[in-house]
Amino acid sequence: MKVTVDDDRCRGHGACLGLAPEVFTLTDGGYAEAIAGAVPVEFESVVEEAVSACPERAIVVE
């Protein structure tokens, strides 16, 4: 699983970071970004939760 955050859609709510701090971080501007390209298997379920929790639908999973 690979995860990215759409910069144009993210509004910095931080729901993803709250659910999966191992996978997401906030930029200096306060917007989310994925820390690594490939998500370790043990974090896939929390990433799926973060996708559902994102109010802007900014998280993209491949």
Domain ranges of the chain: 3-61
Q: What's domain 3-61's architecture?
A: 2-Layer Sandwich (3.30)
Rounded to an integer, what distance in angstroms lies between the CA atom of residue 29 and that of residue 42? 29
Between the alpha carbon of residue 2 and those of residues 6, 13, 29, the distances in Å are 13, 21, 23
pLDDT tens per residue across all 62 residues of the chain = 999 999 999 999 999 999 999 999 999 999 999 997 789 999 999 999 999 999 999 999 99
pTM: 0.89
